[in-house]
Structure 1
Amino acid sequence: MNIKKISIPLAIALLMFPQLIETMYSPALTSIKNHFAVSAENAAQGLSIFFMAFAFGVVFWGRLCDVIGRRNSTLAGLTLFIISAIFTYFASNFDLFLFGFGSCAFGAAVGSVCTQTILRDSFEGAELAWLFSIAATSIGISPVIGMLIGSWLTSHGDYTWVFAAMILLVALLFIWSSIQLPETKPENIKRDSLLFVANKMIRDSHIWYITLMIGLTNIALFSYYNIAPFMFEQLGASVKFFGYTGFVLAIGSVLGSLINIKLIRCKINSDFIVFIATVLMIISGVGVYLLQHTIWFFIPMALISLSFGLTLPNLLSTALTNYRDHLGSAGALLGLSYYLIIGFGLDLVASVGSLAITLLACGSCCLLLVCSKKFIATTQQRNAQTQTN
């Protein structure tokens, strides 16, 4: 295996960039709505389209990682993003705008699947969980950066300023990756068909659990970016105020990741950590429900971010331990599954239009999944002991 490893700053930058792009876009929703004369619900469709296109991008680039390598796939995806963002910048109508933004998402998927594959090539076990926690801490800052940049650009210009900034940022990331990104693809990697890997994963209950948990956790977090801009608009708050709320979410996410690192070092069971995170999600939903008619409803969202920082590293680090022979393809299929759930979920969220209901529903479903997993594991353990005796 190629022992050359990616630098942690570059890995973090690549992992951050899709979420940075998404959160830069969110403050521009009201500008997009007004420019193209569409409804708030139609404007919010961009986020659901982003995740759906992102899902198919994850499959494409993840598979390509196993074919042409991790480095070449990443550079190709970044190039596609830049071209798509330029197209979106000049889009003359809303349909072309959505097509361009979807293409941006397709290219941005390399930041998730290719970088995770590169990390899994080089690390495993507790070390990988620790790295994902470090990454989650850094990613937790990206909403602040994205929302501040997006809100500032939107308030001083319009949504086109946001896309111009995206083009510049990703162009710089492309140059950095061209210089420093290593190729970590193992020489003896298996070239099983995507259908073979998919068949194996479909029959894996652990994969289903991971997929649903990641999907629901992301829906809970990103529903804020989907609904909150219009809630603040109705309450008379400015787009800049929405941008500043990102600090609260970032504090929660960073705290969650730092707490998770401490718990990992203390060898606390990951399932217990995830259980605590789901309880926090439900508490956050109750808080948002109580405060939804005031501008302070964003404060309980810190618990959602904290829950996100606790949950995601523990899910991602254990997701593909049985698929090390085809990490690119398995990571692609896993990503396709949970990003489709996120995309369809956010589309439903835009129709419902209630942040509190969304958080309570996601938290309740996650709690049910965690308890079901524990019950099944306990039952299997008892049956095994009975058979042994």
Structure 2
Amino acid sequence: MNVKNLLVLAMALLMFPQLAQTLYSPALGDIGRAFAVGPERAGQTLSVYFLAFAFGVVVWGRLCDRWGRRPVMLAGLALYVGASALALNITTFNALLLAQALAAFGAAVGSVVTQTLLRDRYHGAELAQVFSLMGIALAASPALGLFSGATLVQHFGYRGVLTGLLLLALALWGWCLWALPETRPSSLPTASLTQTLGLMLRDAGIWRSVGLVAAFNIALFGYYSVGPFIFARLGLSPAEFGYSGVLLALGSGLGAWLNTRLLKRGMNGEQLVLTAAGIAVLGGLLVLLLQHSWLFVAPMLLVVLAFGMAIPNVLGGALVAYRDRLGTAAALFGLMYYLLIGAGLSLVAWAQDLGWSLLICGLAALCLAAPRGFRN
């Protein structure tokens, strides 16, 4: 498989978990109506997704060091297909949460195994450039997810979203079966999970990276969790919420593009993450001031721009000291930050206050990214 085709497939696989999350977001209102639950409980589906996703990251990341990248990717996508089929046939909200957890567990393979595959193939500055390229693709996925999800909900309700995700997962499974190469080094030893966990728990740089990834993701996905209900309170439709994703994707794409340009001009990851954190604080403050008007969407552009700038640098530099155990280290790293994201989104869903949630996330990122607080 040539480099270009590999990168296209990697983009699709990295986009899949985000698509699964954001496609679901416009369906929250319909889920609430169908199962007679309030917005706080309906919003918990996203936090359940992230918590189950965190444990999936550990399992798939560990297995991809043992079994290889290709068979593990196929297994995870197959589990997602089965969970989506199950979700189409349930009748209670608790059963839906269980199906969502199983789907999230399977979808985690798209994140951890794809990142491991890229770290197998690329190193150093080249890896940072690849993650920046992936960041541009990831910027498009929320817009595509929100727009597609809103359209499916408008015509078919939440079951249309579940059916769309089932078909998407089937398509990716077939593509991987046909084209995904095996990149696991033949001489890679099986690293001890507990030893690797001990190393990472004592690594201050890992904890800073975990905090930064969590802060920027909670800010981004907090919008997808709370946004549908803000739009409803403002008298706006789910379709209009979906259209907002197109606007936000422009901000995230601009952030990823700026990141690529500034890396080429000599700025380092530490400077870019610090700049992104400052932008996130400004965006959160403005959303807090404007969240009782539809104009709050405008400063959300700053929040997603910050996400597009920061995340490629944090992910690209987080595991440079763990090259001899990439799958296992990526699994544990993902577990750490997805647990934080899941807990954070639970609080966001409970509080139903987007402005304060964004501001707190931005301030946390600024503290972590301050001089001597981050190492790329």
Q: State if a TM-score over 0.5 links the two structures.
A: yes
The aligned residue for residue 361 of structure 2 is 362
The aligned residue for residue 93 of structure 1 is 92
The aligned residue for residue 328 of structure 2 is 329
Code of the aligned partner of 1:47: L
SS of the residue 1:187 aligns to: coil
Q: Kindly indicate whether residue 287 of structure 2 is the aligned counterpart of residue 288 of structure 1.
A: yes
Distance 1:9 1:177 in 2: 12
Residue 5 (structure 1) shift = 9.1
Distance 1:285 1:179 in 2: 44
Distance 2:58 2:91 in 1: 30
Larger radius of gyration: 1
Code of the aligned partner of 2:343: F
Distance 2:3 2:222 in 1: 38
- Contact 1:215–1:341 (CA<8 Å) still a contact in 2? yes
The aligned residue for residue 301 of structure 1 is 300
The aligned residue for residue 74 of structure 1 is 73
The aligned residue for residue 199 of structure 2 is 200
- Contact 1:6–1:181 (CA<8 Å) still a contact in 2? no
- Contact 2:147–2:246 (CA<8 Å) still a contact in 1? no
Q: Kindly indicate whether residue 340 of structure 2 is the aligned counterpart of residue 317 of structure 1.
A: no
Q: Kindly indicate whether residue 356 of structure 2 is the aligned counterpart of residue 373 of structure 1.
A: no
The aligned residue for residue 123 of structure 1 is 122
- Contact 1:4–1:184 (CA<8 Å) still a contact in 2? no
**Identity value in percent:** 45
The aligned residue for residue 381 of structure 1 is none
Code of the aligned partner of 2:82: I
Distance 2:307 2:135 in 1: 9
Write the deviation string for residues 66-99 of structure 1: whole angstroms up to 9, x where unpaired: 0110000000000000000000111110000000
The aligned residue for residue 112 of structure 1 is 111
SS of the residue 1:316 aligns to: helix
SS of the residue 2:329 aligns to: helix
Code of the aligned partner of 1:231: I
SS of the residue 2:29 aligns to: helix
Instruction: List gaps (5 residues or longer) in structure 2.
Output: none
Deviating runs (4+, > 3 A) in structure 1? 2-6
Distance 1:369 1:186 in 2: 34
- Contact 2:18–2:141 (CA<8 Å) still a contact in 1? yes
Residue 6 (structure 1) shift = 6.6
SS of the residue 1:140 aligns to: helix
SS of the residue 1:236 aligns to: coil
The aligned residue for residue 14 of structure 2 is 15
- Contact 1:5–1:184 (CA<8 Å) still a contact in 2? no
The aligned residue for residue 149 of structure 2 is 150
Residue 372 (structure 1) shift = 5.7
Code of the aligned partner of 1:279: G
Distance 2:124 2:14 in 1: 20
- Contact 2:56–2:109 (CA<8 Å) still a contact in 1? yes
Of stretches 285-294 and 342-351 in structure 1, the one that deviates more from structure 2 is 285-294
The aligned residue for residue 229 of structure 2 is 230
Residue 269 (structure 1) shift = 1.8
The aligned residue for residue 255 of structure 1 is 254
Code of the aligned partner of 2:301: A
The aligned residue for residue 268 of structure 2 is 269
SS of the residue 2:48 aligns to: helix
Query: 1:109-188, aligned counterparts within 5 Å?
Result: 109-188=108-187
- Contact 1:6–1:118 (CA<8 Å) still a contact in 2? no
TM-score w.r.t. length of structure 2: 0.98
Code of the aligned partner of 2:304: S
Residue 373 (structure 1) shift = 2.6
Distance 1:19 1:216 in 2: 16
Distance 1:348 1:289 in 2: 17
- Contact 1:229–1:239 (CA<8 Å) still a contact in 2? yes
Residue 226 (structure 1) shift = 0.5
Code of the aligned partner of 1:354: D
The aligned residue for residue 60 of structure 1 is 59
Distance 1:47 1:4 in 2: 34
Distance 1:57 1:78 in 2: 12
Distance 1:225 1:291 in 2: 17
Residue 202 (structure 1) shift = 0.9
Residue 262 (structure 1) shift = 0.6
Distance 2:372 2:52 in 1: 30
- Contact 1:62–1:332 (CA<8 Å) still a contact in 2? yes
Code of the aligned partner of 1:33: G
Residue 249 (structure 1) shift = 1.0
- Aligned CA distance change for structure 1 residues 246 and 3 (closer, same or farther; 3 Å): closer
Distance 1:279 1:70 in 2: 37
Code of the aligned partner of 2:29: T
The aligned residue for residue 36 of structure 2 is 37
SS of the residue 1:190 aligns to: coil
* Equivalent pairs, count: 375
Instruction: List gaps (5 residues or longer) in structure 1.
Output: 378-389
Write the deviation string for residues 293-315 of structure 1: whole angstroms up to 9, x where unpaired: 11121111111111011100110
Distance 1:113 1:25 in 2: 21
Q: CA RMSD, aligned part only?
A: 1.5
Distance 1:190 1:6 in 2: 28
Distance 2:3 2:196 in 1: 27
- Contact 1:6–1:182 (CA<8 Å) still a contact in 2? no
Distance 2:111 2:352 in 1: 28
Code of the aligned partner of 2:234: L
Query: 1:212-223, aligned counterparts within 5 Å?
Result: 212-223=211-222
Write the deviation string for residues 152-209 of structure 1: whole angstroms up to 9, x where unpaired: 1101121001100111111011111100000000011121210011011111111010
SS of the residue 1:141 aligns to: helix
